[in-house]
């Protein structure tokens, strides 16, 4: 029995809904005589993405992980460089750094938002810092004004992991156009999908966009110069030989590394375009579910609710709340939800404690807020547009019942509150 079959209200296996419009787009791709790779659908998807985000350049790739890998390639990291990262994210955010001889400094999180705490950055930025890697946790934008102010003073690149943030806004702007590089995921669980896998990298620098274009297209990432004295019409090239032209016309000045094939298929891009047009509808459904859950938990003893930085809007990729009665209180709240068929998950295990990260970066430091919140307080509840109204009703009723049960247990000596 799968988790989706076991639970009446499962956590998201699909973060969006694939419907008739998606199927029609697929049929159009299949029945046309156009190429199934690097064609018009990819161009349309990327153009629409630029329009929605406001980024000058948007280049699709095969996954959000690949987008992050390419972003790290653009940093041109050297031995001894330092990168500041959030510990509260999926491992793909920092995994590309394991291929580089750099120091990773983990920045602790704001305990209310689980986003990178700008106040902690001040003690982490040094003259060796090259980049800051942040995530918009759960769909709530990070405090970008405060983070960018510190980054700009130090000349540091800001990379946004927007895997959760699609559909959110920060001071009226979209994630992916707030920092220097944006990385999106279209995995099956994300707020829109391109048939299960896919990603996008957004940039405003033309030279970086050119490098990504080459890297994703299986070309060498390097610096080239024209061959002196070469005439454009020598040798004569037939139309089908056009891909060989650069062999004659340029010479390598410096090679940074090899590219890879990260080409999004036309079928994936076609579905992505349809999903992008449905994003607002999907996001509104998430916000409606989140509002129902907010109403349920607000009936119980509460700490002051978290504030949204900079007039931001939440995309609710994840619905997170905290039980402030230690690990036992979180367990007391979680167990009755599980009995009632509500799947609870914890996203994500603090990255600096992963064995591969700890082994490679033993001096990355502690992040006490992230550790405390994850181990003692943190719960994620299902919140995705695939839930029916009946499932949402059952979810809300189960949360209310579970909180009553946990509150009764708390009277035995563990004061319970939620935030």
End-to-end CA distance of the chain: 34
CA dihedral angle for residue 336, residue 416, residue 295, residue 403, rounded to 10 degrees: 20
- Classified by CATH at the fold level, domain 279-412 comes out as 3.90.1150
Instruction: For residue 185, give both structure tokens.
Output: 């995921």
Q: Which has the closest alpha carbon to 329: 413, 406, 408? A: 406
State the pLDDT at residue 128.
97
Q: What are the residue ranges spanned by the domains of the chain?
A: 20-218+260-268, 226-253, 279-412
State the pLDDT at residue 247.
67
Distance (Å, whole) CA 95 – CA 90: 9
State the pLDDT at residue 175.
97
Q: Which has the closest alpha carbon to 14: 331, 291, 387, 324? A: 387
- pTM listed for this prediction: 0.92
Catalytic residue among 130, 150, 187, 190: 190
Instruction: Give the pLDDT means over successive 10-residue stretches in the chain (419 positions).
Output: 78 96 96 93 98 97 98 97 96 94 95 95 96 97 97 98 97 96 98 98 97 93 76 58 63 82 97 97 98 90 60 94 74 86 93 85 74 89 97 96 80 65
State the pLDDT at residue 179.
98
- Classified by CATH at the fold level, domain 20-218+260-268 comes out as 3.40.640
At residue 175's C-alpha, the angle toward residues 174 and 179, to 5°, is: 115
At residue 201's C-alpha, the angle toward residues 360 and 356, to 5°, is: 15
Tokens 């793909």 belong to 92
Please indicate whether residue 130 is annotated as part of the active site: no
State the pLDDT at residue 356.
85
């Amino acid at each position: 029995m799968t988790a989706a079959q076991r639970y009446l209200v499962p956590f998201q296996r699909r973060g969006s809904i694939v419907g008739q419009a998606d199927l029609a787009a697929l049929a159009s791709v299949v029945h046309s005589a156009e190429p199934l790779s690097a064609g018009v659908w990819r161009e349309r998807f990327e153009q629409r993405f630029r329009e929605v985000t406001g980024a000058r350049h948007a280049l699709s790739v095969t996954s959000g992980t690949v987008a992050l890998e390419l972003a790290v390639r653009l940093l041109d990291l050297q031995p001894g460089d330092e990168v500041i990262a959030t510990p509260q994210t999926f491992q793909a955010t920092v995994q590309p750094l394991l291929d580089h001889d750099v120091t990773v400094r983990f920045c602790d999180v704001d305990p209310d938002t689980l986003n990178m705490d700008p106040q902690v950055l001040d003690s982490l930025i040094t003259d060796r810092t090259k980049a800051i890697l942040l995530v918009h946790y759960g769909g709530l934008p990070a405090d970008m004004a405060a983070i960018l102010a510190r980054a700009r003073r130090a000349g540091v690149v800001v990379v946004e992991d927007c895997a959760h943030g699609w559909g959110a806004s920060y001071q009226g702007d979209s994630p992916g156009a707030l920092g220097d590089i944006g990385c999106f995921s279209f995995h099956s669980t994300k707020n829109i999908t391109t048939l299960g896998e896919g990603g996008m990298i957004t940039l405003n620098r033309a030279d970086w966009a050119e490098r990504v274009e080459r890297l994703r297209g299986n070309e060498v990432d390097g610096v080239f110069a024209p061959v002196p004295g070469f005439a454009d019409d020598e040798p004569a090239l037939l139309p089908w030989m056009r891909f060989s032209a650069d062999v004659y016309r340029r010479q390598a000045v410096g090679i940074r590394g090899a590219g890879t094939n990260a080409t999004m298929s036309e079928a994936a891009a076609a579905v992505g375009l349809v999903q992008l047009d449905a994003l607002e509808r999907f996001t509104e459904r998430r916000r409606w579910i989140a509002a129902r859950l907010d109403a349920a938990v607000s009936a119980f003893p509460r700490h002051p609710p978290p504030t949204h930085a900079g007039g931001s809007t939440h995309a609710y990729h994840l619905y997170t709340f905290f039980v402030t009665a230690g690990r036992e209180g979180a367990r007391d709240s979680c167990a009755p939800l599980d009995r009632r068929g509500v799947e609870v998950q914890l996203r994500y295990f603090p990255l600096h404690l992963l064995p591969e990260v700890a082994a490679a970066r033993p001096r990355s430091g502690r992040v006490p807020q992230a550790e405390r919140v994850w181990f003692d307080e943190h719960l994620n509840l299902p919140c995705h547009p695939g839930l029916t109204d009946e499932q949402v009703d059952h979810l809300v009723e189960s949360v209310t019942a579970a909180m009553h049960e946990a509150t009764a247990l708390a009277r035995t000596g563990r004061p319970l509150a939620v935030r």
